[in-house]
Structure 1
Amino acid sequence: MVPSFHRTKGGGPLLGATMPGQIGPFGPYSGMARDAGSMEIEVWVVPDCPNERPMAERLHRALDDIGLSGTAVTVRVIAGRAEAERVGFTGSPTILIDGRDPFAEPGRVPGLACRVYRTLDGLAGVPAVEQLRQALHAAAGG
């Protein structure tokens, strides 16, 4: 079972674990400096998002599948409409890989809402593991 993301309000990032030896949603925090070429992953959610846990589980599985299980994930809680509009938030949960939304759809209007993803099984509240795997692999340069 994957623990839920640790969350923060107001845009301040909070890693799932911040001290060496702590366990976060994606495993133990190593305390080691990031490699210059490592990927940065953020998940943006609204308070009490029902798809936060499914996103954590699928993202964890996808990272494991491509050998990036030690990658840190930052979770940001988007709590107000003004913040959503300022940062271009188009629904919860949103994943950003190196600052880019791999599932962005042109014309989506920013706002506080649940997000819907197109999957092979139809519309869903989170991308399929395979879609996450492909997005992560592409961002890693593969």
Structure 2
Amino acid sequence: MRVEILHIEDCANWEEAALRVRAALAATGHEDATIITTALRTQEDAARVAFAGSPTITVDGDDLFPTDGLTTDLACRIYFTPSGVAGLPTVGQMTEAMRHRRIDGARVGGATS
């Protein structure tokens, strides 16, 4: 499993995102997963990846929180959490999304991690 955090330097949430991703990986038994942080500096950088604002968290190339809101704008992303709108999903939301992703992958016959 490869997790990538796509971010811009002006959005400080990417550092906390890395900590929450690590906690969610531990909760799902993937402590050994690779986490990569990638700073996007130009609109061209953002156009080359599935970017939906900073931070975008991908697992094996797929957005952990899929949206139709892909952008090349170097902007922060918002997430809807149990406490309201926030700059990051909660650890619980990340954990659930990772578990759901594995179940969906198994159901459609894809490889699971």
Aligned residues: 104
- Structure 2 portions without partners, runs of 5+: 107-113
TM-score where L is the length of structure 2: 0.80
Q: Name the amino acid aligned to 1:115.
A: R
**What is the CA distance between 1:140 and its match in structure 2?**
3.1
- Structure 1 portions without partners, runs of 5+: 1-38
Q: Name the amino acid aligned to 1:98.
A: D
Deviations 1:34-90 (A, max 9, x none): xxxxx2211101124310221012111111112111111111111101221332422
Counterpart CA distance in 1 for 2:34 and 2:48 is 25
RCO (CA 8 Å, sep 6+): is it higher in 1 or 2?
2
Rate the CA distance shift 1:54–1:137 in 2: closer, same or farther, 3 A: same
Rg: which structure is higher?
A: 1
**What is the CA distance between 1:108 and its match in structure 2?**
4.4
Query: Match of 1:31?
Result: none
SS at match of 1:140: helix
2:5 aligned to which of 14, 21, 43? 43
**What is the CA distance between 1:107 and its match in structure 2?**
4.0
- Whether 1:94 and 2:56 are equivalent positions in the alignment is yes
- Using the TM superposition, name which of 121-130 and 97-106 deviates more: 97-106
**What is the CA distance between 1:117 and its match in structure 2?**
0.5
2:79 aligned to which of 107, 112, 117? 117
2:39 aligned to which of 50, 74, 77? 77
